[in-house]
Amino acid sequence: MSKKKLLFEVQENETIADCLDRMKEMGYMPVRRMEKPVFEEQKEGNKTEYVPIRQTIVFEGKKMEE
């Protein structure tokens, strides 16, 4: 029997609590939290540099058993 998992990203206009509530409404519980940096490409002459601009939070949710 395979367990159903889904990824939930905290949107820019919501808090972590809002995201967790959304997961619960859809019948999922968080099992893992991941943070990923978001980079922006900045060019200066011939030099290209990638600068972190924010952090994205993603929760892995597992389907709750009824």
pTM assigned to the model: 0.75
Structure tokens at 19: 């995201």
Q: How far is CA 31 from CA 7, 55, 59, 63, in A?
A: 10, 19, 7, 10
> What is residue 3's predicted lDDT score, i.e. its pLDDT?
59
> What is residue 1's predicted lDDT score, i.e. its pLDDT?
35
**pLDDT for 2 beyond 50:** no
**Triad 31, 11, 35: Cα angle to 5°:** 50
